[in-house]
């Protein structure tokens, strides 16, 4: 019989409808409307046909439900606590709630990759050996999508989590689930009934499912009553879905660039995008912004304006072309915000952040878009903090807000609570660690310049401990690969610091700024005028030492040009601490270098510092 005649007709729409039904479900309850046996059956079916390179079948599954699920999450939370507390008590408090939410699920399906299966597949297919690590990721991703979709179609609520970024957590889960040592953790799905239906008693089970093993169960009882349901929310992974619906910008043909516009896009990608991506592992401004500029005029004009301003930085008249693009962007931006009905898409937010960078290049930064940007970020929900372009723009906006708070000595406009939704507090990569320091500096400024209350000594001490904890527990990659002190006798006025990546430059610079901010906040608890003067000079030395580190880090990595801006901002606030002529000349040379290299205006800052130094000398 013809195989086509014996097979059911399954159209593409059926597959797409099933996949599009899949959503992340949070606010879950510890019940399941689907039996454990049915879930196990679904897993086995997926295992039987899920694609993998050369049919290597490297994916393994562990199903954990009921009491064992609670036990597993108790230990996960305990293991995660040590890591997350190192990032700050507030971070741990916020993340603890998230982890407890995962524990509230009925069950977790843990995905593993078998190292032995990968090794065997690579040995049998030696020509493809270098690609097998990537092949394993492909197989894992397809298996997760298939299981997730099937469970949702069964009526379950599901969300995908990744705990392998914390090594102690993975080590515990391997021991708890009793898997072979060659297994590596890939992800897990939490699942529940997405309604308030209460079930009778359930069995607790710990079941391993792989091509070579059957299900083993450990039976216990759950309490008869389910906990109260919390609000269920659905959200997509990305706040801007790149689909060709009739209303989507992607349904239109991409815009064609003129020769000049192509040069502007190229300049942005090769230069200013790197500034924006200073703490973004996924390089959204370098990779996503140029691509989306093909479809979104507001983003395209923002890029053109900023890039033109940068290209023409050495010319006498830099205003005409850049200003034309700037005004075009404003026109589109006003229309977009007017139509937004309270929700701004991530392309618009990214465009506003880019316009802020454009404005910062002027000697007199009027902060025209800072207030609007802060309001938009403050209105962002968990829907938007998803690791996409919107979140990348939000972190850029926070760094811009820090710059203004630092240089204008005023409260932040950003709501820092929103940033706790980011997964950077769960991840352990270097970019995430750098962003944690950005957040800690923002907290420091928020305590020094509170918007609604006086400075709290307890709050400052907590932040001081968190900042020191960040430095003490920082990954080894943050340590300079080359470091030497300054030697004024040999004419070496700056320390030498080389680091591995821009992430490390940013993280360390923000650490030194936080130390300055916190040092200045320490009260001088003495009535003695002499002691007050001595303590003031001690603080001044502390500021000078950290400021030298900040300037040195500005040249620590060729691709970390944004570190130059951070040093410039720091000098605008504390540059007066350099009282010796050699140091002052070094600062002026450094500021000229910044303007020549980046186009950021520094002439007015240089003049201001010289006036301060002259005044201080005359007063002495």
Which pLDDT tens digit goes with each residue over 446-483? 888 876 555 566 678 889 999 999 999 999 999 999 99
Q: Is residue 559 part of a domain?
A: yes
Per-residue pLDDT, 393: 92
Which pLDDT tens digit goes with each residue over 36-68? 888 888 888 888 888 888 888 888 989 988 778
Shared-domain flag, residues 285 and 415:
yes
- pLDDT > 70 fraction of the chain, expressed in percent and rounded: 75
Per-residue pLDDT, 399: 94
Q: Which of 82-96, 168-182, 408-422, 564-578 has the lowest mean pLDDT?
A: 82-96
Shared-domain flag, residues 305 and 191:
no
Query: Which tokens belong to 610?
Result: 């010289």
The rounded distance, in Å, linking the Cα atoms of 581 and 584 is 5
Q: What is the CATH number of the domain that holds 176?
A: 3.40.109.10
Q: Is residue 354 part of a domain?
A: yes
Give the SS3 label for residue 254.
coil
Q: Is residue 401 part of a domain?
A: yes
Q: Is residue 415 part of a domain?
A: yes
Q: How far apart, in Å, are the Cα atoms of 297 and each of 290, 293, 325, 334?
A: 11, 7, 11, 12
Q: Is the confidence at residue 268, as pLDDT, over 60?
A: yes
Q: Is the confidence at residue 445, as pLDDT, over 50?
A: yes
Domain housing 495: 442-620
Instruction: Look at the chain and report how many structural domains it folds into.
Output: 3
Q: Is residue 280 part of a domain?
A: yes
Which pLDDT tens digit goes with each residue over 119-141? 888 788 877 766 767 777 888 88
Shared-domain flag, residues 165 and 279:
no
Shared-domain flag, residues 300 and 396:
yes
Average pLDDT over residues 525-531: 70
Shared-domain flag, residues 514 and 372:
no
Contacts of 607 (CB under 8 A, 6+ apart): none
Terminal alpha carbon distance of the chain: 103
The rounded distance, in Å, linking the Cα atoms of 102 and 96 is 10
Per-residue pLDDT, 586: 95
Class of residue 207 by CB neighbours under 10 A (exposed 0-12, middle 13-18, buried 19+): buried
Average pLDDT over residues 529-544: 84
The rounded distance, in Å, linking the Cα atoms of 158 and 28 is 9
Q: Is residue 436 part of a domain?
A: no
- pLDDT > 90 fraction of the chain, expressed in percent and rounded: 32
Neighbours of 141 (CB within 10 A): 14
Q: Is residue 36 part of a domain?
A: yes
Contacts of 355 (CB under 8 A, 6+ apart): 302, 305, 306, 326, 329, 330, 333, 368, 369
Per-residue pLDDT, 16: 75
Neighbours of 233 (CB within 10 A): 14
Per-residue pLDDT, 526: 67
Per-residue pLDDT, 402: 94
Q: Point out the domain boundary residue: 374, 397, 426.
A: 426
Kindly report the CA angle at 421 between 418 and 422, in degrees rounded to 5? 110
Question: pLDDT confidence of 510, banded at 50, 70, 90?
Answer: very high
The structure's pTM equals 0.62
Shared-domain flag, residues 448 and 412:
no
Shared-domain flag, residues 418 and 447:
no
Give the SS3 label for residue 486.
coil
Q: Is the confidence at residue 594, as pLDDT, over 80?
A: yes
């Amino acid at each position: 019989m013809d195989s086509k005649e014996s097979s059911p007709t399954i159209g593409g729409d059926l597959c797409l409808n099933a996949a599009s039904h899949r959503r992340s479900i949070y606010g879950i309850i510890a019940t399941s409307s689907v039996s454990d046996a049915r879930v196990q059956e679904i897993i086995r079916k997926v295992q039987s046909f899920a694609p993998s390179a050369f049919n290597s079948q490297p994916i393994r599954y562990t199903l954990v439900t009921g009491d064992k699920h609670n036990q597993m999450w108790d230990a996960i939370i305990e293991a995660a606590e040590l890591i997350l507390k190192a990032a700050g008590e507030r971070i741990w408090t916020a993340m603890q709630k998230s982890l407890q939410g995962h524990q509230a699920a009925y069950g977790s399906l843990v995905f593993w990759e078998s190292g032995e299966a990968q090794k065997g597949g690579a040995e049998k297919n030696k020509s493809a050996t270098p690609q097998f690590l990537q092949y394993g990721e492909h197989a894992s991703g397809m298996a997760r999508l298939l299981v997730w979709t099937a469970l949702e179609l069964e009526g379950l609520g599901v969300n995908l989590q990744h705990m392998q970024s914390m090594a102690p957590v993975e080590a515990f889960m391997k021991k708890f689930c009793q898997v072979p040592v060659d297994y590596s953790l890939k992800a897990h799905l939490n699942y529940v009934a997405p309604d308030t239906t209460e079930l009778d008693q359930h069995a607790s089970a710990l079941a391993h499912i792989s091509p070579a093993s059957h299900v083993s169960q450990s039976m216990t009882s759950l309490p008869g009553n389910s906990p109260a349901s919390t609000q269920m929310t659905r959200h997509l992974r990305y706040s801007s879905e790149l689909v060709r619906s009739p209303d989507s910008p992607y349904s239109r043909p991409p815009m064609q660039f003129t020769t000049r516009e192509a040069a502007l896009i190229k300049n942005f990608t090769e230069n200013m995008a790197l500034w924006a991506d200073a703490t973004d592992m996924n390089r959204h401004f370098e990779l996503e912004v140029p691509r989306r500029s093909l479809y979104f005029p507001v983003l395209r004009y923002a890029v053109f304006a900023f890039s033109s301003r940068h290209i023409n930085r050495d010319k006498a008249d830099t205003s005409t072309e850049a200003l034309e693009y700037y005004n075009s962007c404003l026109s589109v931006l006003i229309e977009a915000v007017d139509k937004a009905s309270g929700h701004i898409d991530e392309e618009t937010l990214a465009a506003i952040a880019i316009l802020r960078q454009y404005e910062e290049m002027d000697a007199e930064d009027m902060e025209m878009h800072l207030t609007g940007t802060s309001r938009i970020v403050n209105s962002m929900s968990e829907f938007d903090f998803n690791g996409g372009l919107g979140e990348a723009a939000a972190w850029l906006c926070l760094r811009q807000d820090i710059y203004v708070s630092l240089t204008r000595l005023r409260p932040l406009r950003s709501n820092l609570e929103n940033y706790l939704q980011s997964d950077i507090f769960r991840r352990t990569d270097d970019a995430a660690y750098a962003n944690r320091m950005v957040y800690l500096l923002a907290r420091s400024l928020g305590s020094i310049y509170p918007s609604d209350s006086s400075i709290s000594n307890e709050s400052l001490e907590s932040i001081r401990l968190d900042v020191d904890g960040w430095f003490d527990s920082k990954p080894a990659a943050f340590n300079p690969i080359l470091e030497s002190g300054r030697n004024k006798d040999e004419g070496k006025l700056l320390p030498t610091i080389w680091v591995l990546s821009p992430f490390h430059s940013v993280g360390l610079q923000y650490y030194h700024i936080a130390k300055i901010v916190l040092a200045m906040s320490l009260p001088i608890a003495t009535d003695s005028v002499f002691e007050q003067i001595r303590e003031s000079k001690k603080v001044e030395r502390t500021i000078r030492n950290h400021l030298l580190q900040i300037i040195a880090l500005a040249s620590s990595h060729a691709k970390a040009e944004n570190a130059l801006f951070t040093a410039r901002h720091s000098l605008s606030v504390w540059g007066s601490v350099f009282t010796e002529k050699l140091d002052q000349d070094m600062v002026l040379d450094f500021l000229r270098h910044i303007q020549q290299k980046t186009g950021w205006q520094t002439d007015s800052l240089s003049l201001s510092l010289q006036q301060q130094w002259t005044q201080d000398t005359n007063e002495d």
